[in-house]
Amino acid sequence: AQSVTQPDIHITVSEGASLELRCNYSYGATPYLFWYVQSPGQGLQLLLKYFSGDTLVQGIKGFEAEFKRSQSSFNLRKPSVHWSDAAEYFCAVGPRGNEKLTFGTGTRLTIIP
Amino acid sequence: GAGVSQSPSNKVTEKGKDVELRCDPISGHTALYWYRQSLGQGLEFLIYFQGNSAPDKSGLPSDRFSAERTGGSVSTLTIQRTQQEDSAVYLCASSLASGATDTQYFGPGTRLTVL
């Protein structure tokens, strides 16, 4: 069965600093990969997704993610975080031919001034 | 345009009671999904609909949980004889069609508390 691991439960970074959130997946083939963000009291918003092709994917709000097949990883990055980026971030996989998404347990991001 | 809406936003109920949670998907979206987000857990898939049919009910945790969708639009998730472990945020999502390539748009969720 597929699984997603987000090893960092909580990360704190200073405003303006760079950010990397880790995501590792387990699946027999290359899945579809997603990053979602959930702000307090809000639903999940899609940041970016990877299906195939270029392994560096650009998303909204200045985020990017890189798919590394050899490491089964899909880490999310941002060069300079803003206070408004404080939220919970979820990595998800959707196996080809399957409709449901499997989510990681999330990483809560705190931004300090 | 309007996004996915869910009602109620909060529901407090007593153990043993039945509850109904409603989801209004984005107009024109044929696929609809239910997920559950428990404290300290990720999002757990429950069921998805393509039109009014539910090809995948594999995530429903027990036979106390059921869902239906009518007119290819509104969906209701029903939990019978609620238990305290049912306390969670129930999220609904919709997409233009089914398939993992189609972006799922999420509603704000219904927070269910079972006392």
In chain B, DSSP assigns E strands to 5-7, 10-13, 19-24, 31-37, 43-50, 53-56, 65-69, 75-79, 88-95, 105-106, 110-114
Return the pLDDT at A83: 95
| A27 CB within 8 Å of a chain B CB | no
Do the Cβ atoms of A100 and B103 come within 8 Å?
no
Q: Sort strands B5-7 and A102-103 into parallel, antiparallel or unpaired.
A: unpaired
Read off the tokens for B32. Answer: 């609809």
Do the Cβ atoms of A104 and B101 come within 8 Å?
no
Return the pLDDT at B35: 95
pLDDT < 50 regions, chain B: none
Return the pLDDT at B72: 85
Q: Sort strands A87-94 and A32-38 into parallel, antiparallel or unpaired.
A: antiparallel
Q: Cα separation of A89 and A107, whole Å?
A: 5
Return the pLDDT at A72: 92
pLDDT < 70 regions, chain A: 96-98
Return the pLDDT at A27: 79
Strand, coil or helix: A113: coil
Return the pLDDT at B98: 72
Peptide bond before B8: cis, by omega within 30 degrees of 0? yes
Return the pLDDT at A40: 81
Do the Cβ atoms of A99 and B106 come within 8 Å?
no
| B10 CB within 8 Å of a chain A CB | no
Q: Which residue of A has its CA nearest to B39?
A: A105
Return the pLDDT at B2: 82
- Of the residues A100, A102, A103, A108, the best mutation for testing chain B's interface (the one with the most B CB atoms within 10 Å of its CB) is A100
Cα of B57 vs its chain's centroid, Å: 12
Return the pLDDT at A96: 66
State the nearest Cα–Cα gap between B44 and chain A, in angstroms. 7
